[in-house]
Amino acid sequence: MVNGAARPAIRSLRTGIVPTTAVQVLSVGYSRLRADVSAGLDRFLGGMHQEPMFIEGEWGTGKSHTLTYCQSLAASVGLPTAFVSLNARTVPLNHPQRIYSEIAASLRIGSVVGIRPLLHSIMTDAALRMKMGVHASSARAGVLGWPLLMLADYYERNDILNPRLEFAWSYLLGEDLGWADYSYKREQALDRVESLGECLRAANGAGFMALFDEVETIDQLWNYRSRMVAYAVISRLSSLRSVWPLFAITDRFTTLARSDYGRATPAALTFLQQVVSSRLSVFRTPQLDQQRAWRIALGVANLYKEAHAAVHFSESQVDAWVDEWGRNPSRNPRRLIRLVVNRLDLLRPLI
C-alpha cells in the first residue's frame, strides 16, 4: 500500500474501522468464510440463486469488518456490491423505500460508486448498451424497463445531457420513494431492488451482492407489527435470484425472532421458520486468541509504518500491546486496533 493510501487507512483505524484497502491484511481466522464465500461467488456468477448469509457476533467483534471482507472478495471477481448500514430511525429494515436509495447510492464496482456512474459506464460501452436495450424491452426488466430503455436510446444518440433524462435518473435513484411510509411504497421499493438486480444480471450474468449491517436494530422498531414487516423484507430480499444478501446480526436478533415466531404473519412466516429450525447459513465472527491478536496488531503496526516512516517499534512492543489488550475482559478486535494505533501515535514524532 502506497503512503497516500496508508494514511487514510490509519485515520479509519483510529476509530476501529478497517477500510477496504486494508481488509485483506488485517483479516485473521477467515479461511472458512473465504472458502464459503468464494464458492458462493462461483455459483452466483454462474447464474445460480444464492441463499442469504448471516454474520453473527456481538458489538466490536468484527461484523462490519466481516461484511467488508466479503465485499472485497466480491470486488476481486468483478461483482457489484451495495453496503447498507441500517438503523431504526432513518434506514429501518421495515421501510425498504429508504433502503433502495441507500443501495442505489452505495452500489459499486471497482472505483465506480453509485448507480448513476455505474449505469453511465455501461451505457457508454456499445456492446453493453445493446445488451441493456434488449433487457429493457423484456419482461425481466420489470419496473426499471422504461428508464433503462430511455437511457439506452439517448446514449445511442449521444444526447446524454438532455434534461429529459433527469426524470429517468431520479427514478433509478429512488428519489420518489423515501418521502412516504405507505405500504405500496414498500412494495415499489422491493420491486425496484429486484429489477436492479435483473438489470445488472443482464450485464454480468449474476446481479449484485447486498450487504446489510446492524440488522439487530430491528429490536428498536415500534412494535412487533413493524418487526413482522422487517422479517418479510428479509424474506423477499432472500428470494431474489439476482441479489445475494448478507446480513450482520447479534444473538439478540435470533432471540427476538424466535420469540416473534408465535405471532408470525404469512409474509414473515417462511423466514421465522428458518430461524426457529436453525436452517440459516450463519458465520460467527472469529474469536481472537493471543496469536491471532498478535498477527492483527503487527499488521496494524506495519501499516502505520507505511503511513509514517519516522515511527520505529519492536516486536517486543507489539507483544506488550497485545498483553495489555488481553488483560481487559472485552477482547474484541476493534479495541485492539484502536489501542495499537494509539500506542503508535504516541511514538510518532510531532515534527
Nine-digit cell string for 323: 498483553
Residues 6 or more apart whose CB falls under 8 angstroms from that of 318 comprise 294, 297, 298, 301, 340
Q: What is the tens place of the pLDDT at every residue in 226-264?
A: 999 999 999 999 999 999 999 999 999 999 999 999 999
The third-level CATH classification (topology) of the domain covering 29-284 is: Rossmann fold (3.40.50)
Residue boundaries of the structural domains of the chain: 1-28+289-351, 29-284
Q: How far apart are CA 57 and CA 15, in angstroms?
A: 19
The answer to whether the CB of 71 falls within 8 A of the CB of 81 is yes
| Segment 276-281 mean pLDDT | 94
| Segment 10-32 mean pLDDT | 88
**CA nearest to 222, candidates 95, 81, 50, 65:** 95
pLDDT band for position 83 (cuts 50, 70, 90):
very high
> What SS3 class is residue 1?
coil
> What SS3 class is residue 225?
helix
pLDDT band for position 25 (cuts 50, 70, 90):
confident
pLDDT reported for residue 142: 96
Q: How far apart are CA 119 and CA 26, in angstroms?
A: 32
- Angle at alpha carbon of residue 37, lines to 102 and 97, rounded to 5°: 20
pLDDT reported for residue 1: 54
Q: How far apart are CA 76 and CA 54, in angstroms?
A: 21
Q: Is the pTM of this model over 0.75?
A: yes
Q: What is the tens place of the pLDDT at every residue in 146-195?
A: 999 999 999 999 999 999 999 999 999 999 998 888 999 999 999 999 99
Q: How far apart are CA 207 and CA 34, in angstroms?
A: 20
Amino acid of residue 282: V
Nine-digit cell string for 223: 412494535
| Segment 293-309 mean pLDDT | 94
